[in-house]
Amino acid sequence: MKRSLTLLGSLLLTFLLVGSLSAQTTLGPGDIAFTLMNMEGQEDDFTFVLLKDVVANTTITFTDDEFFGSSLNTGEGRMRLTFNSAFTCGTEFVFVLTQFNPLFRWSVTAGGSSSGLTLTYPTEGFSFSSGGDNCIAFQDASSTTNNPARYLAAINN
């Protein structure tokens, strides 16, 4: 009996540890809102605000690929934001294009700090044209999918 209780305890601890390592906040439409988009020349930037608290390990992918009726096309870029720590509802994030062609790189800050924020580039080329471009935010296990599990917000010019 004692051994089975110990085993049960170990299993429970394992589930809790695995759960805490992989858990992220599930976001849906309207849980973030874009608050600025500038796409002139090489001075691209955009901002969004969280409308829901997020825990550490939550990710959001941004793309300038277009939405065509039922799915995303390809040919442009994907940029994934990972929150390495928790952030609260109302926090605004500022993205600035810092490196242009051929590798497009961005900075991200909240309250002037990049602490707890990581950007990766699953598909290269994330930058805005001066007209007819867009920024779509979604959540999915894969940042390169054409059929995201959950769209969060979108903005275009």
Residues that bind Ca ion (CB under 5 A): 39, 44, 64, 76, 128, 133
CB nearest Ca ion: which residue? Answer: 64
Tokens at 100, concatenated: 């242009």
Cα distances (angstroms) measured from residue 66 to each of 32, 55, 111, 134: 19, 29, 30, 7
Residue 81: CB minimum distance to Ca ion, A? 18
**Inter-residue contact 134 to 154 (CB < 8 Å):** yes
Shortest distance in whole angstroms from residue 89 CB to Ca ion: 29
Residue 79 beta carbon to Ca ion: minimum distance, rounded to whole angstroms? 11
CB of 24 to Ca ion, least distance (A): 27
Element (H, E) at 106: strand 105-110
**Looking at beta carbons only, is 2 or 68 nearer to Ca ion?**
68
Q: How far is the CB of 118 from Ca ion (least distance, A)?
A: 22
SS3 52: coil
Comparison of 54 and 153: residue with beta carbon closer to Ca ion: 153
Q: Is the dihedral of CA 70, 75, 76, 77 positive or negative?
A: positive
Instruction: Tell me whether residue 124 or residue 133 sits nearer to Ca ion (CB atom).
Output: 133
Give 5's DSSP letter. Answer: H
CA distance 37 to 130: 11
Q: Which is nearer to Ca ion, 74 or 120 (CB)?
A: 74
In the complex with Ca ion, the residue whose CB is nearer, 60 or 72, is 72
Element (H, E) at 50: strand 45-50
